[in-house]
Amino acid sequence: MAEKRTKVKKNIYFRVGLGITLFFVVLMFVGLIYTPYDPNAMNSSEKFLAPCLSHPMGTDNFGRDIFSRVLKGISMTGLVAVSTVAIGGTIGTIIGALTGFYGGIVDEIVMRINDTLNGFPSILLALVIVSILGPGKYNVILALGILFIPSFARIVRSEYINYKNRDFVKSARLMGAGSLRIIFLHIFPNILPTLLVTITIGFNNAVLAEAGLSYLGIGIQPPDASLGSMLSDAQSYLFSAPWYAVMPGMTIVLFVLGFSLLSEGICSK
Amino acid sequence: MRIYMDYILEVRNLNVYYKSIGRSILSKPAKKQVLFDVSFDVRPGEILGIVGESGCGKSSLSKAILGMNKMYEGQIIHHSGKPQMIFQDPFSSLNPAWRIGRILEEPLILSGIRDKEERRKRVEDMLNKVGLDESYADRKPVALSGGQRQRVSIAAALIARPQLVIADEPLSALDVTIQSQIMDLMLELKRELGLTYLFVSHDIDVVYQMCDRIMVMKEGRIIELGDTLEMFANPKNEYTRSLIEG
């Protein structure tokens, strides 16, 4: 009975998470093609307008429409998160699959490098990479992408270690399947559920990391809007124009909450 | 008529080794010998039982014959193409992410059958042969019982039409009632497809029921090799007698 109840509860997590995530995906695409105002158009006569009918989220210190900028910011942050997870996930999965499957000395070396990368606080490492490459959205994507490789590699590797000695792998080998066929065709579908959870958690972390980097001023550069850079700009006006910080802040919270619920839901499926 | 063959498999003076795991990655792995001067033949159409306690080298022998362990000296001569294997644990031997139809299709793909329709037909045909209907092709291994899974793994081993099949304790993971069903199935398929079995087991009763000849192993050596009925009537070796008397 209790088991059933938690299952239903988890299912609600999954649905709500999926709902929020899909909502944000739609907003991402909307932000790419349409915003009510030009997100970068300044208007000195409309500075710090509180949320009203024509500006649902108010305006900022340059008189820019916050709603338009939030929409643009969602697309930007989403783009960074998707690309980051795509880079980190693909490379991490390949590294994890090969090292986990083959093992041996190469595995040892790669995993020690992995440990070293993991040893640094990730935001510090991102700072270092971005300060070497210079700020800008492509460099942020690259830095975060590299940063995400170890976590994917580690998880995928442990899955491959778990599967590589199963009899179905031996059986495939006996039937004449090559190593690459075994790695990507036979074993890979088995790790998909784990990978899916890792990807949703990765999205989450990427959104937060991008916001963090932009907040520190080394992420997305003005006049481009991102949720993090808006927060950073807003902190000087926290008391005079609280909506400026609250709107992008709430958006980040919702965005992350959606992914968290989704991964929780997938986990329990 | 099949062309007359003396032997389907010849094993001559086989010594098999294993890498024992070193203490550090830099130390040279030591070799450990697990089989000592093993020689025997397998005749076409027979069931040769390999009996012994765990650790006697019967699994090492089947691994060497299948080419899964290449660290050996001596000769292993196959006269009938690649042998296939039926595994002990049907929960581990079937890919949990694949449907049964895909699992059975894989050996056909790997043996170079391009025609999708032909593969589908042979999968259905093989399913019927092991006593399952075509609808099982769409199921995943989780949805099957232990006995049904073992039927599928037998089908997977036989679908590419090997002549020699090595069965490594194929019954020991199953319930007693299911055991006799699978035993019957293996005997039936042997007659129908003209197979030769190398039947590895620790269960002397099962071996007595299944096998034409028996090879008793102990500590990596062959203790006794002979006709089943003869051996049970008159075991030459003390160890064999103790196995038979249980």
- B51 interfaces chain A, CB cutoff of 8 Å: no
Q: Is position B103 within any domain?
A: yes
- B244 interfaces chain A, CB cutoff of 8 Å: no
Query: How many helices and strands (H and E) does chain B possess?
Result: 8, 9
Q: Could you tell me if B107 and B93 are in contact, meaning their C-beta atoms sit under 8 angstroms apart?
A: no
Quote ipTM for the complex: 0.88
Whole domain around residue B140: which residue ranges? Answer: 91-161
Q: Is position B112 within any domain?
A: yes
Q: Is position B215 within any domain?
A: no
pLDDT the model gives residue A1: 45
Q: Could you tell me if A42 and A48 are in contact, meaning their C-beta atoms sit under 8 angstroms apart?
A: no
Name the strands in the sheet holding B196-201, side by side, starting at the edge strand that comes first in the sequence: B84-86, B164-168, B196-201, B47-51, B213-218, B221-227
Average pLDDT over residues A81-97: 95
What digits encode the pLDDT tens for the residues A130-176?
Answer: 888 887 888 889 989 988 999 999 999 999 999 999 999 999 999 99
pLDDT the model gives residue B61: 93
What digits encode the pLDDT tens for the residues A10-50?
Answer: 688 889 999 999 999 999 888 888 888 888 878 777 777 77
Phi, psi of A38 (to 5 degrees): -70, 120
pLDDT the model gives residue B48: 96
pLDDT the model gives residue A59: 82
CB contact under 8 A, B87 and A170: yes
Q: Band of the pLDDT at A9, cuts 50, 70, 90?
A: low
Closest Cβ opposite residue A177 in set B66, B110, B153: B110
Those residues with Cβ within 8 angstroms of residue A77's Cβ, 6 or more apart along the chain or in another chain: A207, A210, A211, A226, A227, A228, A252, A255
Report the residue of A102, A168, A173 to disrupt the B interface, i.e. the one with the largest count of B CBs within 10 Å: A168
Indicate whether A178 pLDDT > 60: yes
Instruction: Round to whole Å and give the CA distance between A157 and A99.
Output: 6
Contacts of B167 in chain A (CB under 8 A): none
Report the residue of B106, B144, B166, B198 to disrupt the A interface, i.e. the one with the largest count of A CBs within 10 Å: B106
Indicate whether A249 pLDDT > 60: yes
Rounded to a whole number of angstroms, the distance from the CA of A188 to the nearest CA of chain B is 9
CB contact under 8 A, B95 and A170: no
pLDDT the model gives residue A5: 60
Four-residue CA torsion sign, B166, B169, B171, B173? negative
Rounded to a whole number of angstroms, the distance from the CA of B157 to the nearest CA of chain A is 8
Helix ranges restricted to H, B111-237: 116-129, 146-158, 176-193, 204-210, 228-233
Q: Is position B4 within any domain?
A: no
pLDDT the model gives residue B222: 94
pLDDT the model gives residue A191: 95
Q: Is position B97 within any domain?
A: yes
The chain B residue lying nearest A178, using CA atoms, is B110
CB contact under 8 A, B95 and A176: no
pTM as predicted: 0.83
* Tally of structural domains, chain B: 1
Using alpha carbons, select from A105, A97, A265, A113 the residue that is nearest to residue A193. A265
Rounded to a whole number of angstroms, the distance from the CA of A165 to the nearest CA of chain B is 9
Q: How many inter-chain contacts (A to B, CB under 8 Å) are there?
A: 52
Closest Cβ opposite residue B160 in set A167, A175, A190: A175
Q: Is position B191 within any domain?
A: no
pLDDT the model gives residue B21: 64
Q: Is position B128 within any domain?
A: yes
What digits encode the pLDDT tens for the residues B153-165?
Answer: 999 999 999 999 9
pLDDT less than 70: residues of chain B: 1-5, 21-29
CB contact under 8 A, A168 and B84: no
Average pLDDT over residues A255-268: 85
CB contact under 8 A, A177 and B98: no
Strands B221-227 vs B213-218: parallel, antiparallel or unpaired: antiparallel
CB contact under 8 A, B93 and A168: yes
A173-177's contacts with Cβ under 8 Å and 24+ in sequence apart are A173/B68, A174/B66, A174/B67, A174/B68, A174/B82, A174/B84, A174/B85, A175/B84, A175/B106, A175/B107, A175/B110, A175/B111, A175/B160, A176/B82, A176/B110, A176/B111, A177/B106, A177/B110
Rounded to a whole number of angstroms, the distance from the CA of B240 to the nearest CA of chain A is 31
Four-residue CA torsion sign, A37, A40, A46, A50? positive
Q: CA-CA distances (angstroms) from residue B161 to A81, B83, B99, B133, B187?
A: 50, 9, 21, 20, 16
- B82 interfaces chain A, CB cutoff of 8 Å: yes
Closest Cβ opposite residue B96 in set A173, A174, A190: A190
* Domains, chain A, with CATH or none: 12-267 (1.10.3720.10)
The chain B residue lying nearest A103, using CA atoms, is B25
pLDDT the model gives residue B101: 96
- B194 interfaces chain A, CB cutoff of 8 Å: no
CB contact under 8 A, B68 and A186: no
